[in-house]
Amino acid sequence: MKRHDIYTLPILIWLSLFFTIPLSITVIMSFMSSTPYGGVTLPFTVGNYVEIMKGRILAILWRTIRISALSTLITLGLSLPVSFFMATSKWKNLLLMATIIPFWTNFIIRIFAWIFLLGNNGMLNNILIQLGIVKNPITFLYNSWAVVVVIVYTYLPYMILPIYSAMEKFDFSMIDAAMDLGATKIRAIFKVMFPSIKGGITAGILFVFIPALGSYAIPELVGGRDSVMLGNLIAWEITTARNWPYATALSNILFVSTALALFLYLKIQGSDGK
């Protein structure tokens, strides 16, 4: 123990107790067998993993990654200019609150609001029809695009906030200085500002991409008959199928692959407070 460990001691204890132990439970469980009524039983087996590899899970996995990656990219694309605007605005705190307040309403009614807005009989379609732009309603919902839109909506603040808080410390006169030296504005932003907000961007990407991988309610509510994501499958295995070892094995596969990708990303990206 070093003297400065006092800073990290609380988190060390807290997460060991409330995260590492539960995580270990799921790892152990994934190597056990299930009973018909949701119990878990010995002997230890790798059967669950074998079963998963045998199944045609790849299609679902691929769809999950595709949807999550696309949502993350769009969220990032929206968040960078917004954070920039916020960080340079006189009204930063007001804008900060403005981005977060919508998310204090309940998740489920926000999604229902989207359904009423974008549905076949929804507000947008009714407006379009009344304006004579389209004859028949456009089906916005019940496909993977709808899932992407609502994921972007749901996770926007988790991208904006870290990027904003990293950007806010940036001395914006540096951009002007770089431009005086002949750089274009875009180039100046990228070369001068980017390095100092990298951590914020990384955090934002993690906060959007990884939870999106586990999405469950969004595909269920606005997706179509074929928009199942991995999160739905895991939830189904836990509740209806009552096969907890299988569900934990699924989750562990998701975990290990995400962790590997994350590790590589952080390595390539270089630093991250290490």
Output 104 or 182, the one with its CB closest to another protein: 104
- For position 221 contacting another protein by CB under 8 A, the verdict is yes
- For position 248 contacting another protein by CB under 8 A, the verdict is yes
- Of the candidate spans 42-50, 127-135, 180-188, 233-241, the one that interacts with another protein by CB under 8 A turns out to be 233-241
- For position 25 contacting another protein by CB under 8 A, the verdict is yes
Handedness of CA 104, 107, 108, 110 (dihedral sign): positive
**d(Cα 115, Cα 127) in Å, to the nearest integer?**
15
- For position 231 contacting another protein by CB under 8 A, the verdict is yes
For residues 123-162, which are near another protein according to CB under 8 A?
Answer: 123, 139, 142, 153, 156-158, 161-162
With CB under 8 A, what is the number of residues at the site for another protein?
125
- Of the candidate spans 43-51, 109-117, 127-135, 174-182, the one that interacts with another protein by CB under 8 A turns out to be 109-117
Among 50, 53, 108, 134, binds another protein (CB under 8 A): 108
Q: What are phi and psi of 33, to 5 degrees?
A: -110, 160
- For position 33 contacting another protein by CB under 8 A, the verdict is no
Output 179 or 258, the one with its CB closest to another protein: 258
CB of 181 to another protein, least distance (A): 20
Output 176 or 272, the one with its CB closest to another protein: 272
Is 165 in a helix, a strand, or coil?
helix
Q: Give the angle subtended at the CA of 176 by the CAs of 170 and 181, to the nearest 5°.
A: 125
For residues 34-93, which are near another protein according to CB under 8 A?
Answer: 36-39, 55-57, 59-60, 78, 81-82, 85-86, 93
- For position 238 contacting another protein by CB under 8 A, the verdict is yes
Q: What are phi and psi of 106, to 5 degrees?
A: -75, 140
- For position 245 contacting another protein by CB under 8 A, the verdict is no
> In this structure, are residues 269 and 72 in contact, taking their beta carbons and an 8 Å threshold?
no
Which residue in 216, 256, 208, 222 sits closest to 237, CA to CA?
216
Among 168, 172, 174, 183, binds another protein (CB under 8 A): 168
DSSP for 145-182, written as a single string: HHHHHHHHHHHHHHHHHHHHHHHTTS-THHHHHHHHTT
Is 138 in a helix, a strand, or coil?
coil
Buried b (16+ CB within 10 A) or exposed e, 75-112: bbeebbebbbebbeeeeeeebbeebeeeeeeeeeeebe
Output 42 or 182, the one with its CB closest to another protein: 42
For residues 185-204, which are near another protein according to CB under 8 A?
Answer: 195-200, 202-203
> In this structure, are residues 217 and 108 in contact, taking their beta carbons and an 8 Å threshold?
yes
